[in-house]
Amino acid sequence: MRADEIAEDYPAVSCESGALDAVRLLAEHRLPGIVVTDSGAAPTAVLPASQVVRFLVPGYVLDDPSLAGVLTESMADRVADKLAGKTVRDLLPRDKPAEPPVVRGDDTVVEVAALMARNRCPLVAVVERGRMLGVITASRLLQVALAPE
């Protein structure tokens, strides 16, 4: 099976999109991540939902997880406050290259799985001639892999 046969329509945002809007999209659709595109709609990065969660946790809690149990403020209030005025670019990890995991339409399921595993990314973009055809999520890949032949 080829990548273009299992790719699905998937929402994308630009680097300059509002962070709060992007996070709402992730939450409302329960997405594992979201594709970030340039002005020409070509994928430039993937923003995993786990990276957004990491952005929301105070640095001192990341340094000392035992402090998480003593915080009492509402997570919902913190999310909106912390994301206000931020762009998607602000949420992207600074320590990793922004290159998105991208496959061609004629790549095999094994090639897709290998890229996903190497990058530890929950999704890959399927691109042909600079145009995104769709996305393959880890759950879609597993669905295909487990399907009886």
Kindly report, residue by residue over 37-49, the tens digit of the pLDDT.
888 888 988 888 8
Q: Which residues of the chain have pLDDT under 70?
A: 70-79, 96-98
Which pLDDT belongs to residue 24? 92
The DSSP 8-state label assigned to residue 73 in this structure reads S
Which pLDDT belongs to residue 27? 92
* Cβ neighbours of residue 118 closer than 8 Å, sequence gap 6 or more: none
Which pLDDT belongs to residue 13? 94
CATH numbers and ranges of domains, the chain: 3-146 (3.10.580.10)
Specify the length of the chain in residues. 149
| Summary count for the chain: helices (H), strands (E) | 8, 6
**Kind and range of the H or E run holding 127:** strand 123-128
